[in-house]
Amino acid sequence: MIRTAPSSPTCPQYTLGLALLLIPLLLSGCKEEQITVYRVPKEMPGERGGSPSVPQARGAARPHVHWDKLPAGWREESSSGNRAATFSITGGPGQRAEVAAIGFPGMGGSDLQFVNLWREQLGLEPLTDDQLPKLTQSVTIAGADGKLFDLTGAAKAGSAQPAERIIVALHKAEGISWFIKLTGDAALVEQQKAPFIGFLKGLSLHREADGTSTAPPPTASAAPAGGSSGAPNLKPPAHWKAQTPGAMQAAKFRIGEGKASAEMTAVFLGGMGGALKANLDRWRNQLGLPAAADSEVEKQAPLFPALGDGVRIVELSGTTGGDAADMIVLLVPEGRGTWFYKLMGEKNVVAMEKNALIALVKSAKP
């Protein structure tokens, strides 16, 4: 019996410039600047159990996955957005893994960019072009040639949390870039690698349209508007200057000039975008700080009820490039993912802009 898992489009079609990332178009005005930020399909591998909510145009072509038999121990879960199928896997005591099939129409980006995004999520250093082949192998996906990337994070000293491993299969067909991702505890992912590769061979991947939309894809002169799922509109202060977003970023602003400056970025990740401690340690590392003790995580990333249930705030002081620097990160749960608003730069600038950051996040909430 053939099984089908269609995605549920909720938002306008978009153009992706980087792996699992939506980079919105920035619209600048003379007096008032308004940035429309869309839900980032940044299914950053490394997040366990998270799922991106990636919008698509109503009536636009959407990804579908068909399969006839699941490997033993796999259980189908609900999916939405561009996540066309999701499966959970349970191993030994405490072992969990997940498989997600995600389709992105019209996606750009290089294999190296994709891999380095996933490596960052695992706390690993970026690779260079000549190192990439060591992580890449050829596989058959839906009866065609594809690529498989295999990455394992480092086990954290003094932590009971197991190392994570990510295996991502990449396949492009009918204008869709497909990412089929196996992620979870390293030991369980190793056990599931062979069944996963077998599952890839038997997939049928499709782009199906319902014929109700004639809207063209977005161009450099017009960004799509927010959809019914409540994609937020950022309303930055006039002195915040919009920049071209980089990897993992949905929006980026510069405040000030030279050393007396700071940068604010907005990123959307499925789930929590990784464990809270892993994110905290990554931010601490950016400021030259050691990893946080397990007992300190809740203190350093406390809840921030002023912005709603589940919102957290991280405030850190350290150095970057030999200069003193501060960082503020607001973690804002929304739907099936989390927005990360990060302000980082010269200490006095960050202190002065803290209230503006909080106001920006308030303006972004649907």
Rounded Cα distance between 97 and 182, Å, is 7
Residues making up the chain, counted from first to last: 366
Q: Which CATH number fits domain 3-23+38-208: 3.40.50.10800, 3.10.20.600, 2.60.120.1690, 2.40.50.100?
A: 2.60.120.1690
Integer-rounded Cα Rg, in Å, for the chain is 20
101-129: average pLDDT? 81
pLDDT for the residue numbered 124: 84
**pLDDT: is 227 or 246 the higher one?**
246
pLDDT for the residue numbered 321: 79
Domain ranges for the chain: 3-23+38-208, 233-364
Q: Give the tens place of pLDDT for each residue, 217-232.
A: 322 222 222 332 334 5
Q: Is the dihedral of CA 80, 82, 84, 88 positive or negative?
A: negative
Q: Does the pLDDT at position 5 exceed 60?
A: no
Q: 35-39, 41-45, 121-125: which has the highest mean pLDDT?
A: 121-125
Mean pLDDT, rounded, of the chain: 74
Instruction: Express as a percent the part of the chain with pLDDT over 70.
Output: 68
Q: Does the pLDDT at position 42 exceed 80?
A: no
**Which architecture, in CATH terms, is 233-364?**
3-Layer(aba) Sandwich (3.40)
Q: Does the pLDDT at position 24 exceed 50?
A: no
Domains 3-23+38-208 and 233-364 share a fold: no
Q: Does the pLDDT at position 11 exceed 80?
A: no
**pLDDT: is 265 or 278 the higher one?**
265
- What global pTM score does this model have? 0.46
299-322: average pLDDT? 93
pLDDT for the residue numbered 322: 84
User: Residue 62: which pLDDT band, with cuts at 50, 70 and 90?
Assistant: low
Range of weakest confidence among 35-39, 92-96, 214-218, 236-240? 214-218
| 3-class SS letters over the chain | CCEEEECECCCCCCCECECCECCCCCCCCCCCCCEECCCCCECCECECCCCCCCCCCCCCCEEEEEECCCCCCEEEECCCECEEEEEEEECCCCCEEEEEEEEEECECCCHHHHHHHHHHHCCCCCCCHHHHHHHEEEEEECCEEEEEEEEECCCCCCCCCCCEEEEEEEEEECCEEEEEEEEEEHHHHHHHHHHHHHHHHCCEEEEECCCCCCCCCCECCECCCCCCCCCCEECCCCCCEECCCCCCCCEEEEEEECCEEEEEEEEEEECCCCCHHHHHHHHHHHCCCCCCCHHHHHHHCCECHHHCCCCEEEEEEEEECCEEEEEEEEEEEECCEEEEEEEEECHHHHHHHHHHHHHHHHHHCC
Instruction: Express as a percent the part of the chain with pLDDT over 90.
Output: 30
User: Residue 366: which pLDDT band, with cuts at 50, 70 and 90?
Assistant: low
Range of weakest confidence among 79-93, 132-146, 183-197, 222-236? 222-236
